[in-house]
Structure 1
Amino acid sequence: MALRRLTTLIAAFALATTTLTTAPAHAAVGTTGFTAVEITGDGGVALKANVIAPSAGGRHPAVILPSSWGLNDLEYLAQAKVLAGRGYVVVSYTPRGWWLSGGEIDTAGPKDMADLTRVVDWTIANTAADPARIGAAGISYGAGISLLGAAFDSRIRAVGVLSGWTDLVYSLYADQTRHRQSAGLLELAAQIAGTPSAELTAKMNDFNANVNVDGVMAWARVRSAATYLDRINANNPAVLIANGWGDTFFPPNQLVDFYGRLTTPKRLELRPGDHAIAELTGVLGLPNEVWTSLYAFLDEHLATGTTSPDPIYLKPLNATAESYPTWAAQSSSTTRYGLGRIRTLDGTGLLGGAVSSGWTKTLPADRDTVAGGGIVLISNGAAAITGQQPSVWLPFVDRGRAGVWAAERPSSAQRIRGIPKVHLELSGAAATGTVVAYLYDLDSLGTAKLITHAPATWLTATRSVDVKLPATAYDLPAGHSLTLVVDTVDPLYYDENESGDSITIGGGSYVDVPIR
């Protein structure tokens, strides 16, 4: 009940402040005010919803807003009011299994897809919505339902995917590593604010116990837009994808890959922050860049038909925003940094130069260090607000538990743009294991700011491992050292290391860094 009251208070605050803080760029039109409704979903399930629309006669473009995981249709009151003032019919609804909606949580599965179609039907039949100009958008769960819905309902002509996913398998098992904290928070929210289905409960139990992996992945594929990419391309909706560089729920590489294979009108935006952080102030009714971009995108594809800017918009972690015609255009070259022999004096190796051989570095397979990806939502969320990346003091990284390699300090800034890749040659490793690679910006005083990181797990005996670090945009200042730390434990993730095992990294290892 406390969570329900908090959501209601936030929504009330958002509604009260919207008129003052998020006035649309063009003259606002009169609206009908909000009306609470109940829409009959698939199988007769009652879906709680609210509607607001322009008060003027005639047909209007419409936007359907499914609420986020753990929240309800009150989430979008502020933005619904703005959109209605811009000439849109807006229907916000609570997906099945959440709050006062009936049924059980389907996790963007077939029942949720059928429900979205019923909501589209209801919107056309009961409002002044133009059937040829229907959009769907949302944050997180609402984003996923909207994008998946565009594969199953060709009437959806524009989609706003804000902090959403395209590949749920990757979100749960990226590089064969289970994401512990993010999955745990999703499970907790379902228990507090929803009615989990037996299927969801079983799959989460299997995930946590690391059993029936094939079954969990099959369940996740059904709930992944990437599975239905051909159908989305055939339906040809316009798709806006906006996410955070540091999203610990839905890391951005899956979105970059999906965007590259999408043939519809499209736009990709990446900004600092963790999951749903970049668009949070908009939910509270405050000015917000993500929502403003969504307005323009919806206007272009459902209303005015205005010309869009370059389709790639990137806001680096520590630089001003940039636009590009394609994803590939942001980087002009790739620099390969070979990992070198560890120095006895300080336990640090050279990162850079030709890939070398004849050295090894052995790590205990079950020991953590101060190097880390932070705390889900909090660390990268705070970074988006303060402009300061999570950091460690590098001398505190235990060289007995981690490998550390630092590059020479360049005389000019290096603009890292894209997906860095780490290749590690292994010897003597157990049949299963996990490593975590962290790419840092090291200043002259020993403070290392996290640029990007990722774990990688192997489940059969291997002699090498390749890690695609999450996409990033970061300006390494002149005089700073690009630094790689590799250890074997991070609380963000489950690992496959056994106590007493060790992992030996050796010659032939390197890091590829895309440079602008």
Structure 2
Amino acid sequence: QQADARAVGDPARIGVGGVSYGAGISLLASAHDPRIKAVVALSGWADLVESIYSGRTQHVQAAALLGATGRLTGRPGPELNRILGDFLASDLAREQEMIDWGRKRSPAEHVDRLNANGTAVMLGNAWGDTIFPPNQYASFFEKLTGPKRLEFRPGDHATAEGLGLFGLPNDTWDNARRWFDRHLRGERNGVDTEQPVQIKSRSSSGYEGYADWKSVGSAGTEKLALADTEHLFTGVNTGADGGIVLLSSTLDQFTKIPPMASVPLLPRAFAAVWQSDRLGSERRVRGTARLHTTVTPTRSDGTFVAYLYDVGPLGIGKLVTHAPHTFHGKTPGRPFGVDLDLFSTAYDVPAGHRLALVIDTVDPLYAEYNPTGAQLTFSSPRQDPSYVSVPLGAR
């Protein structure tokens, strides 16, 4: 039997691949077993904490969906049930325990082992993945030193490669097969000579290749100054939000219709709004937009969500990207600085449109910690101006 097995495969040159849970497990296995020479991890996690607890905010829809899927397809153990229950209940007394649990199960914590093994790693994800957002994959990719490839496409969790699971034509799986053929069979099919970062914009067709992740948004930045002080009350959903887990980004993938909001009609008592002038030329947003601002709370705990919109002539904003942020233990009335990375994306803003940053405090995707009656003030001190920096790609 061993001879038969060796006749059809080399036990010292194993390839593993998976989607979602299978992707994360494939990466973890590759870090701990040097026989695995190539891995394809699609719509997975590299950093479990950053995936569902970014900005110190519970991604409650994502976590609830993961928990429900686990119960439908498996038998979660008592440890997982307890951790997930504490997470969804926002039990801050167990926050560090939950973070430690997530880190232990994060491939990013074992990247040195992957690099020592020389494993060839291909990562694929969707820009709008509401379960495992793209930022954590991009950061992980940059830490890999062996053969590597990173692909980002429009869509949500597993939707970019979903049709390929049924045997239908699919770019993701075509490239996965090429990856295995090159790094397991030694076929010279060109996959390792292409630019290692391949992305597709949410606004256009065709792929863009880059030498590394940092090059994606290397053509400059569009900086939107957040000069005016904005004061808002918390606890109200203004209509600006990130959509619905799995559904909204899938709709964007197939129809190019992302979550939208009428920016002029947003209630200014509950939403802070800053807009650019009309853009004289197209802006190709590529990479990770970053918010820098100063916040003064009236309570020690709170949550806000920042949204970047593409605003057309009629004031309808199409969501470009967003991210949540939660704080605890702050002194009421004392300002503090916030630096927040929004979720990475590729989106083309047409000439004549505006960029708008909107901040409110309630989004169904996330838990929120705003006590009743709490207020937030966003300011731009002269010595430390507030802004959102938007990375741009070449035309």
Structure 2 length normalisation: TM-score? 0.92
Partner of 1:71: none
Of 112, 130, 133, 2:10 maps to 130
Deviation at residue 293 of structure 1 after TM alignment:
1.1
d(CA) in 1 for partners of 2:28, 2:316: 43
Post-superposition shift, 1:509? 1.7
Structure 2: how far apart are the matches of 1:384 and 1:261? 29
**Contact 2:51–2:131 (Cα < 8 Å) also in 1:** yes
Q: Tell whether the 8 Å contact from 1:456 to 1:466 is kept in structure 2 after alignment.
A: no
- What is the distance in 2 between the residues matched to 1:417 and 1:401? 29
Higher-Rg structure is 1
Q: 1:510 aligns with which of 382, 387, 391?
A: 387
Query: Does 2:320 match 1:465?
Result: no
- Taking a change above 3 Å as real, the CA distance of residues 242 and 124 of structure 1, as seen in their structure-2 partners, is farther
1:140 and 2:52 are equivalent in the alignment: no
1:491 and 2:364 correspond: yes
Identity of aligned pairs, percent?
45
1:215 and 2:92 matched: no
**Aligned partner letter, 2:373:** G
Distance 1:139 1:385 in 2: 20
Maintained 8 Å contact 1:363/1:503 = yes
Which of 179, 185, 189 in structure 2 is aligned with 1:306? 189
Secondary structure of 1:340's aligned partner: coil
Q: Which residue of 2 aligns with 1:281?
A: 163
What is the deviation of 1:340?
A: 2.8
Q: Secondary structure at the match of 1:131?
A: coil
Alignment of 1:340 with 2:227, yes or no, is yes
Asked if 2 retains the 8 angstrom alpha-carbon contact of 1:123 and 1:129, the reply is no
Name the counterpart of 1:165: 45
CA–CA separation in structure 2 for the residues paired with 1:166 and 1:154: 18
Pairwise CA distance, 1:216: 1.0
> TM-score of the superposition, structure 1-length normalised?
0.71
Please report how far the alpha carbon of residue 387 of structure 1 lies from its aligned counterpart in structure 2 after TM superposition.
Answer: 2.2
* Offset from partner CA, 1:472-504 (integer Å, 9 cap, x none): 111110000011110011010001111111011
Aligned CA-pair RMSD: 1.7
The residue that corresponds to 2:202 in the other structure is 317
Q: How many residues align?
A: 378
Q: Please say if residues 241 and 269 of structure 1, whose CA atoms lie closer than 8 Å, have aligned partners that are also in contact.
A: yes
1:77-135 CA distance string (max 9 Å, x none): xxxxxxxxxxxxxxxxxxxxxxxxxxxxxxxxxxxxxxxxxxxx999958722223310
Q: 3-state SS of the aligned residue for 1:130?
A: coil
Mark the CA change 1:286 to 1:328 in structure 2 (over 3 Å): closer, same or farther: same
Change (3 A) 1:222 1:310: same
Q: Distance between the aligned counterparts of 2:190 and 2:6, measured in 1?
A: 32
Which of the numbers 149, 154, 161 marks the counterpart of 1:272? Answer: 154
Partner of 1:448: 317
Bigger mean CA offset, 177-186 vs 316-325? 316-325
> Residue 175 of structure 2 corresponds to which residue in structure 1?
293
Match for 1:421 among 279, 284, 290?
290
Q: Is the 8 A contact 1:124 1:130 kept in 2?
A: no
Instruction: After TM superposition, give the deviation of residue 298 of structure 1 in Å.
Output: 1.1
- Alpha-carbon distance in structure 2 between the residues aligned to 1:199 and 1:124: 41
Task: Specify the code of the residue in structure 2 equivalent to 1:313.
Answer: Q
Q: CA deviation at 1:218?
A: 1.1
Gap regions ≥5 residues in structure 1 = 1-120, 342-359
Q: Matches of 2:277 and 2:386 in 1, distance apart?
A: 17
Secondary structure, in 3 states, of the residue corresponding to 1:456?
A: strand
Contact in 2 for aligned 1:421/1:469 (Cα 8 Å): yes
Quote the Cα distance in structure 1 between the aligned partners of 2:378 and 2:180: 50
Deviation at 1:142, TM superposition (A): 0.5
Q: Does the CA contact (< 8 Å) of 2:297 and 2:374 recur in 1?
A: no
Decide whether aligned partners of structure 1 residues 487 and 122 sit closer, same or farther in structure 2, where only a CA change above 3 A counts.
farther
Paired with 1:296 and 1:149, the residues of 2 have a C-alpha distance of 21
User: 1:203 corresponds to which residue?
Assistant: 83
Q: How far off its partner does 1:305 sit?
A: 3.5
Q: In 2, are the aligned partners of 1:393 and 1:446 still within 8 Å (CA)? A: yes
Q: Deviations over 1:149-207 (max 9, x none)?
A: 01110000000010010001111210101110000011111222221100110101111
Q: Secondary structure at the match of 1:460?
A: coil
CA distance in 1, matches of 2:181, 2:297: 58
Paired position in structure 2 for 1:47: none
For 1:485 and 1:326, the matched residues in 2 are separated by 30
Rounded Cα–Cα distance in structure 2 between residues aligned with 1:376 and 1:201: 21
Q: 2:215 maps to which residue?
A: 329
Q: Which residue of 2 aligns with 1:356?
A: none
1:122–1:169 CA distance, 2 compared to 1 (3 A): farther
User: Any stretches of 5+ residues in structure 2 without a counterpart?
Assistant: none
Paired residue type of 2:24: G
Q: Does the Cα contact within 8 Å between 1:418 and 1:472 map onto a contact in 2?
A: yes
Give yes or no for contact 2:45–2:106 (8 Å, CA) kept in 1.
yes
- Structure of greater relative contact order (alpha carbons < 8 Å, 6+ residues apart): 2
CA contact (8 A) 2:223 2:389 kept: yes
